[in-house]
Amino acid sequence: MLNLHVEIESNSGFCFGVRNAIKKAEEVLNRGEELYSLGEIVHNEQEMDRLINKGMKIITQEDFKTMKGKTVLFRAHGEPPASYAIAEENNIKVIDASCPIILKLQKKISKSKSNNESIYIFGLPNHPEIIGLNGMIGNTAVVFEKYEDLEISKIPGKITLYSQTTKSLKQFYDIIDKLKHEGIKVNVVDSICRQVSNREQELREFCRRFESIVFVAGKNSSNGKQLYEICMQENSRTHFISAVSEINNEWFDSKEKVGICGATSTPLWLIEDVKNFLQSL
């Protein structure tokens, strides 16, 4: 046996928005009722399999447009007004699990639009949160993934800058500094979720304490990719996994200290499974 000393980072597990969405889904499923989710509730394959096994069905936007009289969950990422209009027209019962932070953000961006502001969003163009946010204003915002994607010569002298809630706080303010250096006035709407951004420093300190790190997240998790990079910066022996089956015994030496952490989309039960497996080696 390797006799590993294993510890889970205290802030790992779902954020509030995801926990709330899953709770609402389970309340319906546990009553034996039919439930559809408009897209995946969370970017984690293991958790999605668990919910699908309980009876939840995942649908696309195209599926949603043709449904009638069903019960559909709107996940934490939030939905644009068009989705609510379709639900009303097609007699669809909506279980709204939109994160309160996202809902406030959608109200803010709608106000910015009504004030005729030039709106830019730092985020992933195809991320469901961004689709919902930009949908609030008729998809009129300029969405960019990194500073280098911007055409500086085409940016107005004054803009209002939003961010996807799970983006890096440091990257966001680095972009603001660069834009201001170009002479652009930036009205900053700091929309980054602190439950996510505050983890960065805590995660750095955690990773320094261990000889190896096992980072657990879904392969499609934007937040997971970002936090994994932070772990790698602090501990080069960081291993990204999505399932217990991906763990390689050869990663570890006998009696070494191993830290386990995950994305805001990673279920705590999966992290616990990883811990139990490592302790059995």
Say whether both 53 and 63 belong to one domain: yes
Residue 195 has pLDDT above 80, yes or no: no
- Domain-ending residue, one of 195, 212, 230: 195
Catalytic residue among 129, 151, 211, 272: 129
- CA torsion, ordered 88, 92, 93, 95, to nearest 10 deg: -90
- Domain-ending residue, one of 149, 171, 195: 195
Q: For the chain, how many structural domains are there in total? A: 3
Classified as helix, coil or strand, 40 is: coil
Annotated active-site residue 234? The verdict is no
Flag the least confident range among 75-79, 192-196, 200-204: 192-196
Say whether both 88 and 70 belong to one domain: yes
Residue-number span of the structural domain to which 251 is assigned = 5-13+196-280
Residue 57 sits in a domain of what CATH number?
A: 3.40.50.11270
Say whether both 88 and 21 belong to one domain: yes
Q: Among all chains, which residue has been given the structure tokens 């915002």?
A: 141
Say whether both 189 and 206 belong to one domain: no
- Domain-ending residue, one of 165, 195, 225: 195
CA of residue 230 relative to chain centroid, distance? 16
Flag the least confident range among 12-26, 55-69, 192-206: 192-206
Residue 137 sits in a domain of what CATH number?
A: 3.40.1010.20
The model's pTM is 0.85
